[in-house]
Amino acid sequence: MKVHKATVAAAAALALSLTAAGCGDDNKDDTGSGGKKITVGIKFDQPGIGLKTPDGKYTGFDVDVATYVAKQLGHKAGDIQWKEAKSADRETLLQRGDVDFIAASYSITPTRSEKVDFAGPYLLAHQDVLLRADDDTIKQPADLNDKKLCSVTGSTSAQNVKTKIAPNAQLQQYGGYSECLTGLENKVVDALTTDDSILAGYAAQSQFKGKFKLGGFKMSNENYGIGVQKGSALKAQINTALEKMVSDGSWDAAVKKNFGPANYHNEPAPKIGVVVSS
């Protein structure tokens, strides 16, 4: 009887070890890095900022910043699991713990700072408009009144225009900037508004060259921050990583790589912890 019990115990132990081994295989990094996974929220539809390409790769300034930060936190590029972070979903993703941090053209605002914490800022952009190249009716922000203006649900740009710049603009809010771009190209809307960095990325795409132009309006200051859960220790760690990125030249290299083709005149790297008011 004792031998039988020992045999059963041994079999149980073997089964547990096999189960554990199976679980380990499920969590193994399929890229071969073998490191600890980290989930990062980015935009999937913003050329030059955060874009998921048809072949499944991820490109853009935010992607490069997030990859650098993740490396400083101890993660290889292959350890990163990219998750789409649409403008209206960003606070929810962080609050639910669906992502470790978000780098998705995420402007630091008092309202958002009540719900999440921000590291940075790591880029100072300005709100602008994208127009059709042959449009000569919108020469200043006030000309947006009575025009069909497109932006993305949940973005600060849409509300900024409506409350401060052109209260009579006919605001159309879509789920993504690519939808606005299609509307602009097809003359369903007259202008697309968001940050100049994002607009420059669109204008630089080969299929759109010559079709659009930037208005050149600096209608606001947009301080891009990296969002983390409220009270997270990651904020300080990410700030340290961003400071290193600027000091070792990686920040300048990422700007040139992602915005250079659009002849985008970026502001110098902002000082960490200093938010420039509009």
| pLDDT tens-place values along the chain, 278 residues long | 444 444 434 444 434 343 333 333 333 333 445 579 999 999 998 899 999 999 999 999 999 999 999 999 999 999 999 999 999 999 999 999 999 999 999 999 999 999 999 999 999 999 999 999 999 999 999 999 999 999 888 777 877 888 888 999 999 989 888 899 999 999 999 999 988 998 988 887 878 878 998 898 989 899 999 999 999 999 999 999 999 999 999 999 999 888 876 667 788 999 999 999 86
Closest-CA residue to 69 (of 230, 243, 197, 202):
243
What is the spatial distance between Cα 98 and Cα 83, in angstroms, rounded to a whole number? Answer: 9
Q: Is residue 277 part of a domain?
A: no
Domain CATH for 109: 3.40.190.10
Count structural domains, the chain: 2
Helix (H, G, I), strand (E, B) or coil at 45: strand
Q: Is residue 158 part of a domain?
A: yes
Enter the tokens of residue 70: 């993740």
| Residues spanned by the domain of 199 | 126-214
Q: Is the pTM of this model over 0.85?
A: no
* CA-based radius of gyration for the chain: 23
